[in-house]
Structure 1
Amino acid sequence: MPERRTSLPSRDHLALRRRGRLPAWASLMFRVGLALSLIGLVLAVHWFDREGLKDNVDGSVSFTDVLYFTMITVTTVGFGDIIPVTDRARMFDTFVVTPVRLFLWLIFLGTAYSFVLRHTWERFRMSLIQRRLTGHVVVAGYGVSGAEAVRELIRRGTPAERIVVIDCDDAALVEAEACGAAILHGDATRNATLEAVAIDRASAIIVSAGRDDTSILIVLTARGLAPDVPISVVIRSEDNEPLAHQAGADTVINPASFAGLLLAGSTRGRHLADYVGDLVAVGGPVALHERTVAEDEVGKPLSAIRTGLGVRIYRDGAPHGFWEAEAQSLAAGDLIVEICPNRQPG
């Protein structure tokens, strides 16, 4: 089972992260510069107010003594060999040096976490997540179609935590995470990205990248990594539909063509589009269902099934309507497409 928050652009990370305004090296240099600036400020004040310090070793306070005292006091509470003796020096150490010391420790700990501990922890989480990912649905692209597909999957009873969304847009990933899906910030055309979500152990892949060339490349990459996983893809140009099939897509959906079919059908009857909508949406009174023929149905006509209204069978990959001779005697291995009364999940 995938965890709910998983995102980064490479196979080494699966945790949501927004890209910072500064690159990693610049962020590190900024923290080092800030720490040195604070130490320099304390050093300067101690040097100019060195009369307020007392060296219990030799009684003389040199620049080396001031440098040593500054470094010791901003990192620890001091050793007592050099101490502030005037009220002004003591107040400075109390109200300036102590907050600086705490702030420097926060900088050091934050830097250690950001550049060392976090990456180690995320790699550990990555290995755990990858082992648990199985039977999930991968959605490559969280645009309009991808987002609606995720919502419909959830409405149909797919647990949100079994959906993994891949996208390069942080805002889209935030929306997907709000739905409860696992998320991965990355390029779905890359092998490493798809391997990071265990594409070969997925139950289905939905591709909706927004561009036909990108979607087809994702399909090609996914098919190479997961030869047996069903792939559905959204293609917006009719000319690209054959290419999507050649790339390995099992189902190619053209939203514009489908909308055109509904519009044209509505001219022949005002209820036709409503009924088609009922068939494809989980909220309607009827639903399309695909299943393998049952053992006790072999040899019977498609019209004799009791689970729903059989409208088509697929035999050896070829479709046959309920009126055709092939549908008059069901065979083992046939896939039945039927219209059933809608059963809401749960």
Structure 2
Amino acid sequence: MDRSQRLEARLAVPLTLVALVTAAGTVGYWLLWRPYGATWLDAFYMTFITITTIGYGEPYPLDDRGRMFTVFVGTTGIASLFYVFGVFMDYLVEVGASGVRRKRLMEKKAAALREHVILVGLGRVGRQAAEELAQAGESFVVVERNLERVAWALEQGYLVLEGDATDDEVLKKAGVEHAKGLIVATGDDASNLFIVLSARALNSSLYIVARAEDADVLPKMLKAGADRVIDPYAIGGRRLASLVLHPAVVDFLETTLRRGGAPISIEDILITQDSPLAGKSIAELNLNRRYGVVVLALIRGEETIVSPPAEFVFEPGDQVIVMATVEQLERFVREMELQEGARRKERLAREAKGG
């Protein structure tokens, strides 16, 4: 039940009481003044000025019975109106307080996040990005100033902060200093450029992906600190052409890159100093037979090596692109992380003894 429905339910009883008092008063005054030829409007008017405490003169004389009846109508009517007023004011206070509580709760949750992604803007592009992040199970916080979009994000269960991301304080509340990535997806190039500048100043290691409407803005975004700049219209045009020219390839890539329910997946793995892959060749690791993982490519600095040979040796800093089923990749990544953690502890222990 939403707030408007809750308000209607809470107002049902007091409004019913007001209606009953008004109806009873109108009938009562009409009966009392029937000898004077009073109309229903005269009776309703008397009831109205009584329960609203306006207190103009009576249209017709009242005897003792009429005065006692007026006391009854005034008491019950005023009480009913105060009941309505009280319920409505309580609702307004509740809405205001819940909004403040929700905002504080969201800010508290965002401040507790580490290694998360910040998504700025919930237009058509931003919503697609949010859905992808949610399907991937990634921790992220949305920053949006449009109230309708904020309401939509809350309905989806997203962590959202209402505010302008061009303000450094808003970015700090979103945890930019502890985030690993930032997606800037508003439809305003000037705002996007300013957000990129601010975010880069607040976190030098942040990976920033920004949207650009104008192709001339792309180099400016990169100079401002963005790691990648995306033109959604250019990407959409290339995809349309590719669907005509190579539909099977596009379908395959969409299947492998789609999160949630995809049979196979493509992931990138960074080789660290403590990685169990460092210093070993593809043949020595035998990833395909042991884990069902296929090495598609490797990025080393500015060089990209497609389908590296079996004797190729991994080095720290290499970015490896691998493909396997979702289950195989999860098992592979989990084991690599466990071995990497154990190696890191051993290295730190040796360094501590050596120190």
> Amino acid of the residue matched to residue 176 of structure 1?
A
> Partners in 2 of 1:236 and 1:302 — Cα distance?
42
Match of 1:154 among 100, 125, 134: 134
> Partners in 1 of 2:115 and 2:307 — Cα distance?
36
Gaps of 5+ in 1: 1-15, 17-37, 53-84
Whether the 8 Å contact between 1:302 and 1:322 is mirrored in structure 2 is no
Q: Which residue of 1 aligns with 2:76?
A: 95
Whether the 8 Å contact between 2:51 and 2:74 is mirrored in structure 1 is no
> Amino acid of the residue matched to residue 254 of structure 1?
D
Indicate the SS of the match to 2:268. strand
Indicate the SS of the match to 1:94. helix
2:188 maps to 1:178: no
Indicate the SS of the match to 1:331. coil
Residues 4-43 of structure 1 show CA distances to partners (whole Å, capped at 9, x for unaligned) of xxxxxxxxxxxx9xxxxxxxxxxxxxxxxxxxxx999855
Q: Which residue of 2 aligns with 1:210?
A: 187
The percentage of counterpart residues that share the same residue type is 21
TM superposition shift of 1:232 = 1.9
Whether the 8 Å contact between 2:106 and 2:161 is mirrored in structure 1 is no
> Partners in 2 of 1:128 and 1:293 — Cα distance?
34
286-295 vs 304-313, greater mean Cα deviation: 304-313
TM superposition shift of 1:324 = 7.4
Whether the 8 Å contact between 2:297 and 2:308 is mirrored in structure 1 is no
Indicate the SS of the match to 2:55. helix
Query: Normalised by the size of structure 1, how large is the TM-score?
Result: 0.63
Cα distance change of structure 1 residues 330 and 222 upon mapping to structure 2, 3 Å threshold: same
> Partners in 2 of 1:90 and 1:216 — Cα distance?
70
Answer 1 or 2: higher relative contact order, Cα 8 Å, separation at least 6: 1
TM superposition shift of 1:208 = 1.0
> Amino acid of the residue matched to residue 155 of structure 2?
A
> Partners in 1 of 2:152 and 2:93 — Cα distance?
31
> Partners in 1 of 2:154 and 2:95 — Cα distance?
23
How large is the Cα RMSD of the aligned pairs?
4.0
2:307 maps to 1:328: no
Match of 1:291 among 263, 269, 276: 269
Match of 1:220 among 197, 203, 208: 197
TM superposition shift of 1:266 = 5.4
Indicate the SS of the match to 2:218. helix
The structure with the largest helix share of the pair is 2
Residues 174-227 of structure 1 show CA distances to partners (whole Å, capped at 9, x for unaligned) of 332232212223222221222222222234222211233322222222222232
2:118 maps to 1:165: no
Q: Which residue of 1 aligns with 2:55?
A: 45
> Partners in 2 of 1:120 and 1:209 — Cα distance?
26
Gaps of 5+ in 2: 4-47, 332-355
2:166 maps to 1:189: yes
Whether the 8 Å contact between 2:298 and 2:306 is mirrored in structure 1 is yes
Whether the 8 Å contact between 2:49 and 2:56 is mirrored in structure 1 is no
Cα distance change of structure 1 residues 205 and 337 upon mapping to structure 2, 3 Å threshold: same
> Partners in 2 of 1:108 and 1:284 — Cα distance?
51
Whether the 8 Å contact between 2:106 and 2:160 is mirrored in structure 1 is no
Cα distance change of structure 1 residues 201 and 39 upon mapping to structure 2, 3 Å threshold: farther
Rg larger for: 2
Q: Which residue of 1 aligns with 2:119?
A: 139
TM superposition shift of 1:269 = 4.2
Whether the 8 Å contact between 1:138 and 1:166 is mirrored in structure 2 is yes
Q: Which residue of 2 aligns with 1:314?
A: 299
